[in-house]
Amino acid sequence: MKWTTLVQVGELAAALGDPTLRIIDARFALMDPAAGRQAYLQSHLPGAAHADLDLDLSNLARTGEGRHPLPEAAAFAHRVGGWGIGPRQQVVVYDAGDGSMAAARLWWMLGLLGHARVAVLDGGLVAWRDGGQPETGDLPDQPMLPPYLADFDTSRIVSADEVEARLGEAPGWLLDARAAARFRGEAEPIDAVAGHVPGAVNRPIGDNLAYGRFRAPQQLRAQIEPLLAGRSPREVVVMCGSGVTACHLLLALELAGLCGARVYAGSWSGWISDPSRPVARGE
C-alpha cells in the first residue's frame, strides 16, 4: 500500500486487517461540533479511530489565526502516536462524504509531518456504504505508539503577512475554495465579514467533484490550470473560510498533477481578524 492522495472503496476493503493499515474517521459538522464523534461511536469503518477537527486538528485557544488555528506540532505528533500511526503505517482518512470535513485537513497535516503514505477515501462513508462494505460500533484495539518524531514543515504553511505582501500580484496566485456566494460577499453564514481577499480567484470545492467523488485528474487539470494564469503551482496559495476546505482544493491540485501549492492556514476568518486588512466583494 502506497496511497498518497486518494484510495477507492474496493482497494481499502481489500486491505482491511493489514497490520500496517491505520484508518481515521474525521467526520465533523461545523454547526454541531459533537455530531461527528457521536456518529463515529454509533458506527464506523472496522478498526477506525476518530479525529476531531476542533480538539485534535486545531488549537482553538490561539487567537487571530482563524476559526481553526493549527495546533502546536508537538501536540499533534502526540495525538498521531496515540492513533497508532508511525512512519511505516499506511493511513487512510475518511469523513461523511467528499473529504472536505475534515479528511483532507488531516491528510494535509500528516503531510506537514512528512508522512507521505496517507490518502483520503474517495466518496467517504457514503461511498463505503454504497459499496455494501462492513461497519462496526466497536472501538479499535490498536497499540498506541510514541509521539510521531517530526515537526511541521512550516514552509508549506502561508501566513497572513505573506498574503498581504503579495496583494499587488496579478490574479492567479491565490485560490479561494469557498462557495461562490460567500466569495462574492453575497452571503456569509459563518464569519463576521463577507467578501474575499483582493485578487483572489474563486474555485469552489464543489467544482472538484462529480456525484460526491473527485473528478478525473485530467478533468481537474483542464479546469484548474487556467486559473493559475501561467504560474507554477509552487507559487500558488489556497485558502477557504478557516483552512479546512482549502486542503480539499490542495488535494484536487495534487490529483491534477499541479503539485506544490501551499495553504493559507488562517484563511478568511484569520484575514478579517485584523480590520485594517482590505476586503473585496463581487467577482
Report whether 263 contacts 238 (CB < 8 A).
Answer: yes
Give the CA distances from residue 142 to residues 52, 103, 145, 209, 260, in Å, rounded to whole numbers and listed in that order.
18, 20, 9, 33, 33
Amino acid at 275: P
Q: Give the single-character DSSP code of 193.
A: S
- For residue 247, indicate whether it is catalytic: no
Q: What is the grid cell recorded at 228? A: 493559475
Amino acid at 276: S
Reported residue count of the chain is: 283
Give the CA distances from residue 258 to residues 7, 83, 101, 236, in Å, rounded to whole numbers and listed in that order.
19, 31, 22, 10
> Which residues lie closer than 8 Å to 184 by C-beta, 6 or more apart?
195, 196, 202, 281, 282, 283
Q: Which of 179, 228, 240, 255 is catalytic?
A: 240
Q: Enumerate the active-site residues.
A: 240
